[in-house]
Amino acid sequence: MQLRKTLVTTLTLTFLFAGAADAGPLKRFAHERIDAATPKIIGGTDAQPGDWPWIVALIQSGISDNFQGQFCGGTLIAPDWVVTAAHCTDGKSPGDIDVLAGVTDLKNDIGERVAVKRIVQHPEFNSRNLVNDISLLQLSSPVSPTPAATDVGPETHEGELATIIGWGDTDPTFRNDFPFILQQAEVPVISNTLCQSIYGSSITNGSLCAGYADGGKDTCQGDSGGPLVLPTATGWELAGITSFGNGCAQPGFYGVYTRVATYETYIDDSLNFDYVACADANGDSVINADDITAHKADGRSELITWINNCYKTGSACGDLNEDGQVTRADLFLKWIEIRNAHNDWLAVCWTPEAS
Ligand code: 4AZ
C-alpha cells in the first residue's frame, strides 16, 4: 500500500503544480493514440459493440469530447444507478461528472451521456488505504442499456477466471496510451490471504484480487471504477470494482478490486432509500428551498431545547465532553453536532427533485 500511496501522492503533487484544480490522482492529461501493435487494456483485446452493455464511462462534465473527458469506469446496476469506485468520486460534486452509456468506441460512438444527480459515496471510504472503495451515482435520467446483475454470492471465487474491462491505460509504464476502443482481459481471482501478504491492511474482506504472478494482464490508470465480472449460467455478474494496484501488470503484484458481495446492503439500502421523503423537511410534499429553511429551524429548536434542559440546568445531558462540568465547550460541541447533522442531511437527502 505504501507504494500505491506514494504513487497517488506523486501524481497529486504533479497535478497541483500543473495548476489543475479539479484533477484527481487518476486524472490524465495527455492522450496519445496507441499504435496497433501495442498490447491493449494491459494485455487485453478490443471489445465488440454490445459485449458489455452495462459498462459506462465517467466523463468530466466540463469536457465535451468523451475520449478527452473520460477519467474512470462504472457499471450500470439499475437504469438510473451506476456503481463505481469511491476514489473516482471523492471530493467531487454531482455536477462535475457525466455518465456515458452505450458506447464501445469513445471517439466515434454517440451513446447516451447524462448528468449525475446524486453521489452516494461509501461513508467509510478511506482515501489513504482505499478501504471501502465504492460509490454510487444516481443519474439525472435513466439510460437504456441493460443493467448488470450484482447478486453475486459469498463464495471467494478463488481460481475463477474473471473478465476486467475498461478504457484505461494500455501501457504498464504509465505512458498514457489510452485506447478509443473498450478493452477486455481475463485474469484469475487469487486468495485474499496471498493478496494481503503483498498489500497488507489495505486488503479487507471488502477486497477481491486478481491477476497473474508473472503480471502481463491487468487494469490500469483510467480503468478504476469499472467492472470485474464473472460468468454465470445466464450471463455475467458484477463481482469487483477496479480499485488499485502497485503499478500495472507488474510481476509479483495483482490488481485489487472492491468485492461487490461485501457491499450488498450498502447498495440495496442506497438504491431503495426514499431521498424525496428525506428531503421534504417541512412535510409539504414539495422539495424546494423552504425545506432547507425548515431543516435549519429544526436544528435551531433542537439547540434551544438542549440549552434549556441541559446547558442552563447544568444537567448530566449537558456534559458532552464528559469532563465533569457543563461549560461553553459543551455548548460549542452541541453547535458543531447540529451543524454537522445539517450538512449530512444536505449531502444525503437534499437534491432538489423539483424547482
Ligand atoms: C489506477 O491508477 C490503477 N493494476 C487502477 C488499477 C490498477 C492500478 C492502478 C491495478 O487507476
User: Each residue of 80-104: pLDDT tens digit?
Assistant: 999 999 999 999 999 999 999 999 9
Nearest by Cα to 195 from 206, 183, 181, 182:
206
Listed range (106-115, 126-135, 171-180, 338-347) with the worst mean pLDDT:
171-180
The per-residue pLDDT for range 204-245, each reduced to its tens digit, is 999 999 999 999 999 999 999 999 999 999 999 999 999 999
Sign of CA dihedral 155, 156, 161, 164: positive
Other beta carbons within 10 angstroms of residue 128's beta carbon come to 10
Nearest by Cα to 244 from 92, 128, 83:
128
Query: Which residue of the set 80, 87, 171, 218 is catalytic?
Result: 87
**What is the CA(140)–ligand 1 centre distance, in A?**
28
SS3 304: helix
Sign of CA dihedral 41, 45, 49, 54: negative
Question: pLDDT value at position 172?
Answer: 85
The per-residue pLDDT for range 33-76, each reduced to its tens digit, is 333 333 458 999 999 999 999 999 999 999 999 999 999 999 99
The per-residue pLDDT for range 137-147, each reduced to its tens digit, is 999 999 999 99
Question: pLDDT value at position 40?
Answer: 57
Is 181 in contact with 105 (CB distance < 8 Å)? yes
Is 230 in contact with 160 (CB distance < 8 Å)? yes
Which residues of 87-142 form beta strands (DSSP E)?
A: 97-101, 112-121, 135-139
Distance from C-alpha of 3 to C-alpha of 254, rounded to nearest angstrom:
13
Which helix (DSSP H) or strand (DSSP E) does residue 335 occupy? Answer: helix 328-348
DSSP state of 201: G
Question: pLDDT value at position 207?
Answer: 98
Which residues on adjacent β-strands are paired with residue 35? none
Is-catalytic flag, 133?
yes
22 falls in which pLDDT band (50, 70, 90)? Answer: very low
Is 121 in contact with 81 (CB distance < 8 Å)? no
Is-catalytic flag, 342?
no
Atom of ligand 1 nearest to the CA of 218: 4
Whether 70 lines ligand 1, by a CB cut-off of 6 Å, is no
**What is the CA(44)–ligand 1 centre distance, in A?**
15
Question: pLDDT value at position 151?
Answer: 87
Per the structure block, which three cell numbers stand in for 212? 497473474
Radius of gyration of the chain (CA): 23
Q: What are phi and psi of 336, to 5 degrees?
A: -60, -45
Is-catalytic flag, 51?
no
Query: Which residue of the set 98, 133, 171, 177 is catalytic?
Result: 133
Atom of ligand 1 nearest to the CA of 248: 4
8 falls in which pLDDT band (50, 70, 90)? Answer: very low
